[in-house]
Amino acid sequence: MRGVGGPLLCIADLLSDVGGEFVSDLPESSSIVGSDEAVVNPSDLQTIFEENYNELEQSLKGNDHSWTALTLKLCTALETADKLIQSTGSNVESLAENIHVLETILTRGDSTVEKAKDVLNTMPEKKNY
């Protein structure tokens, strides 16, 4: 019912509205979670998502209106996970480039060692008189 001004007919309408308007207007640093949860350990993201999802599910089964805030909280957890995945992808690319550079350096070093051995093997031995 977007743009008509009617009520939300289902959760998909809310998610569409939230995803299309509200979330895009939020500053990058905003968070629905409390300040004590602002620094999230990546391994805790699945637990946080499951907790938020379960809270939302319970709210939707009940009569309270906290489901709107819980939906935003769940969306924030998903956005955090998405940013983590994007960051990890770029870090992996950078790491792969650094590994390639190190492999090149090691190959050159091995080649230099082999050339030095060849030079030493071709030199005449000194005789002590």
Residue whose C-alpha is closest to residue 88's, from 19, 33, 29, 42 = 42
Phi–psi pair at 127, nearest 5 degrees: -105, 135
The answer as to whether 64 is a domain residue is: yes
- Alpha helices for the chain (secondary structure H): 11-17, 23-25, 45-61, 67-122
> Which range marks the domain in which residue 60 is found?
11-93
Number of domains into which the chain is organized: 1
Q: Are 69 and 58 in contact (CB under 8 A)?
A: no
The answer as to whether 126 is a domain residue is: no
pLDDT computed for residue 25 by the predictor: 41
d(CA 11, CA 58): 14
Q: For every one of its 129 residues, what pLDDT tens digit does the chain have, with 9 covering 90 and above?
A: 444 555 555 555 555 555 554 444 434 434 444 434 456 677 777 888 888 888 888 888 888 788 888 888 888 888 888 888 888 888 888 899 999 999 999 999 999 999 999 999 998 877 665
